[in-house]
């Protein structure tokens, strides 16, 4: 009886091997999509106003302080560049309501100066017309405000010192624009500030305005 059981088991094992079939193939598609992230936000200082109400300010201008700062953050999945410029060719007077269109008082844009101060992990890089920052590429010379999409606007890009690129979240790319007005310095890494005081330019009393455009794009 033991031999019969052994033979039966052995026969089943041989039969199983003899009837084995080749395995089939299967594919698993993998889709990899990178959607572009490119966002800019003004987190504070979205409305800057300089009020000249003393002879000292007319002669020496109004320098930068925390009251005249704009904080900006950028989140980008790729390298980026930012163009900064005024919407108008000049600052336009708006307080005289009866002034015909085209005859408003004007003020040169380059009376407004600004510097870029990086507060994120990426520093500010400068080549050509790019404004330099106050800490990473210390320059300390304000750039004169120019009109957007002309030779007087300014481009900037933040990049690591190693040149590894400037993509990253808002902890990487955040900076402060330090504004000033009427200092009469005639300096700048790109477009120069106006070298004359507000007083010496004989600018008529009025409220002068423009919009600052911040244009972010893939570099």
Cβ-based neighbours of 192, under 8 Å, separated by 6 or more: 110, 143, 144, 186
Give the per-residue pLDDT at 169: 93
Give the per-residue pLDDT at 137: 37
What tens digit of pLDDT does each residue of 21-65 get?
678 899 999 998 999 999 999 999 999 999 999 999 999 999 999
Lowest mean pLDDT among 3-7, 77-81, 149-153, 206-210: 3-7
Instruction: Give just the sign of the alpha carbon dihedral 14, 16, 18, 24.
Output: negative
Whole-model pTM?
0.80
* Region for residue 71 given its phi and psi (left: phi exceeds 0; alpha: psi -120 to 50; beta: otherwise): beta
Residue, of 15 and 202, whose pLDDT is higher: 202
* Bridge partner list, 73: 41, 174
**pLDDT at residue 13 greater than cutoff 80:** no
**pLDDT at residue 69 greater than cutoff 70:** yes
Question: Residue 183: exposed, middle, or buried by beta-carbon count in 10 A (0-12, 13-18, 19+)?
Answer: buried
Give the per-residue pLDDT at 52: 97
DSSP letters, 141-198, are -PEEP-BTTSTTSEEEEEE-TT-----EEEEEEEEEEEEEE-------SSSPPPSS-T
Provide the 8-state DSSP code for 97. Answer: T
Distance CA 136, CA 84 (A): 19
What tens digit of pLDDT does each residue of 70-127 get?
999 999 999 888 888 999 999 999 887 666 666 789 999 999 998 888 788 887 654 4
């Amino acid at each position: 009886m033991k031999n019969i059981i052994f033979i039966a088991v052995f026969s089943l094992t041989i039969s199983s091997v003899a009837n084995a079939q080749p395995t089939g193939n299967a594919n698993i598609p993998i889709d990899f999509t990178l959607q572009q992230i490119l966002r800019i936000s003004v987190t504070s200082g979205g409305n800057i106003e300089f009020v000249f109400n003393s002879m000292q300010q007319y002669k020496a201008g109004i320098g930068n302080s925390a009251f005249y700062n704009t904080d900006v953050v950028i989140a980008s999945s790729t390298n980026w560049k930012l163009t900064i410029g005024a919407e108008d060719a000049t600052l336009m007077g708006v307080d005289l309501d009866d002034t015909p269109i085209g005859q408003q008082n004007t003020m040169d844009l380059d009376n407004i100066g600004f510097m870029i101060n990086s507060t994120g992990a990426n520093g500010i890089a400068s080549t050509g017309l790019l404004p330099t920052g106050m800490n990473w590429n210390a320059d300390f010379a304000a750039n004169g405000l120019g009109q957007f999409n002309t030779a007087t606007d300014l481009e900037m890009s933040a990049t690591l010192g190693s040149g590894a690129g400037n993509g990253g979240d808002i902890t990487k790319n955040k900076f402060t624009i330090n504004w000033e007005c009427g200092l009469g310095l005639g300096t700048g890494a790109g477009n120069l500030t106006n070298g004359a005081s507000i007083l010496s330019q004989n600018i008529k009393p009025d409220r002068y305005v423009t919009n600052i455009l911040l244009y972010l794009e893939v570099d």
